[in-house]
Amino acid sequence: MNDLRAVPPILEVNRLSKRYVMNAGFWQQLTRRPPELLHAVDDVSLRIAPGEIFGLVGESGSGKSTLGRCLLRLVEPTAGQVLFKGVDILQLPRAQMQGMRRKLQIIFQDPYSSLNPRMTVRQMLGEVLSVHRLCPPHRVEARVRELLHLVGLPADAVDRFPRHFSGGQRQRIGIARALAMEPEFIVADEPVSAVDVSIQAQVLNLLIDLKAQLGLTMLFIAHDLSVVQHISTRVGVMYMGKLVEMAPRRLLFSQPRHPYTQGLLLAAPQPDPFHHSTRVALEGEPPSPLHPPAGCRFHTRCPLASDRCRQAPPPLQEIGEGHWVACHHHDLAVWPPPAVTPWAA
């Protein structure tokens, strides 16, 4: 997996942007006030090789879900390219896009709202199989059972409605539904954020198993760094719509070079009572996405910010093998930080 350049990527994202137009109501149009723009995803490029699990982390509102949905055209990007096996899916006419949908699937965060409350598991999975003629009618039943088995649900689950399942089980149904399409690429948008701790590990292990078993490629979105570290082969960090750092997993977690990544790592509370610090990892809060700061968007919170940072946005540059960072002063960002002192005797 280290030598990414050797393999042609299965998915390539080039300079992708999504801008939402805010306050474009009737009144605004009437008064000709220019609508405000929200850059949910701003000029993001990345490549994902076959068989990779690319982890995407960032705080809420950083644009992770928007990026994930743009890849499937559930949200239409404003600019940029999404090449799936070399084909720009953003240029595909509708009919061909429907065909492409089979190969690209998504698993959602909320196991409660992502299943239609009025359909049984059989109906849900059966619909997918028959609408896309994924298997002959007489095989549908067997295939449904096979899918349930694959995600670890008992066969008697078929006739139940979503309300009869726990959060973790619903998440499995969502995974089975995505797998029914036999996809080649899956966007998993925070699939474990809404399930219980004890269930989270079940779902993570299931995804790891499925990846190995079916050779899936995945964009795995999460806000929890330890979850991303656990499952990913490569990791990208987003802040206010920008990709600020990207590296193979081991590199990112052992030598993070962006001050924001470092802050995230320090802020994550670790289940280890011998390891703590009284220092606040990152001061301040993300500014309003409607009025992002000039220059580096992180400068309002960055301990290393200089005048240069307030003027020029740092480009994403490769500072080592596969290690990309968007920071003017990445060489000053020391890791691990000095003086992590225990707060209590």
Ligand X SMILES: Nc1ncnc2c1ncn2[C@@H]1O[C@H](COP(=O)(O)OP(=O)(O)O)[C@@H](O)[C@H]1O
Which residues contribute to the site for ligand X (CB under 6 A)?
Answer: 20, 38, 40, 58, 60-66, 289
Contact call for residue 65 and Mg ion (CB under 5 A): yes
- Is the omega angle on the peptide bond into residue 336 within 30 degrees of 0, that is, cis? yes
User: Which of 304, 319, 322, 337 forms a contact with ligand SF4 (CB under 6 A)?
Assistant: 304
Contact call for residue 134 and other proteins (CB under 8 A): no
Q: Which amino acid is at 180?
A: A
Contact call for residue 62 and Mg ion (CB under 5 A): no
User: Which of 106, 305, 316, 324 forms a contact with ligand SF4 (CB under 6 A)?
Assistant: 305
Contact call for residue 204 and other proteins (CB under 8 A): yes
Q: Rank residues 108 and 260 by Cβ distance to ligand SF4 and give the closer one.
A: 260
User: Which of 41, 244, 246, 251 forms a contact with other proteins (CB under 8 A)?
Assistant: 251
- Minimum CB separation of residue 258 from other proteins in Å reads 13
Using the contact rule CB under 6 A, the part of the chain among 21-29, 99-107, 205-213, 297-305 near ligand SF4 is 297-305
Using the contact rule CB under 8 A, the part of the chain among 8-16, 83-91, 268-276, 320-328 near other proteins is 268-276
Contact call for residue 327 and ligand SF4 (CB under 6 A): yes
- Minimum CB separation of residue 243 from ligand SF4 in Å reads 13
Contact call for residue 264 and ligand SF4 (CB under 6 A): no
User: Which of 8, 99, 303, 320 forms a contact with other proteins (CB under 8 A)?
Assistant: 99
Q: Is 45 exposed, middle or buried (0-12, 13-18, 19+ CB in 10 A)?
A: middle
Give, as ranges, the residues between 303 and 332 that touch other proteins (CB under 8 A).
Answer: none
Contact call for residue 87 and other proteins (CB under 8 A): no
Instruction: Find tokens 């995600």 and name the residue.
Output: 151
- Minimum CB separation of residue 51 from Mg ion in Å reads 25
DSSP letter at 205 equals: H
**Closest among 77, 73, 16 to 43, alpha carbons compared:** 16
Instruction: Give Dmax over CA atoms of the chain in angstroms.
Output: 69
Contact call for residue 116 and other proteins (CB under 8 A): yes
Cα separations in angstroms, 173 against 25, 191, 210, 226, 265: 39, 12, 14, 25, 32
**Could you say which of Mg ion, ligand X, other proteins, none residue 110 binds, taking C-beta under 5 to 8 angstroms by partner kind?**
other proteins
Q: Are 202 and 153 in contact (CB under 8 A)?
A: no
- Encode 39-88 in three state secondary structure: EEEEEEEEEECCCCEEEEECCCCCCHHHHHHHHCCCCCCCEEEEEECCEE
Taking the CA of residue 39 as centre, how many other CA atoms within 13 Å lie in the half-sphere pointing to its CB?
A: 18
**Could you say which of ligand X, Mg ion, other proteins, none residue 113 binds, taking C-beta under 5 to 8 angstroms by partner kind?**
other proteins
**Closest among 250, 288, 235, 324 to 39, alpha carbons compared:** 288
DSSP 226-237: HHHHHH-SEEEE
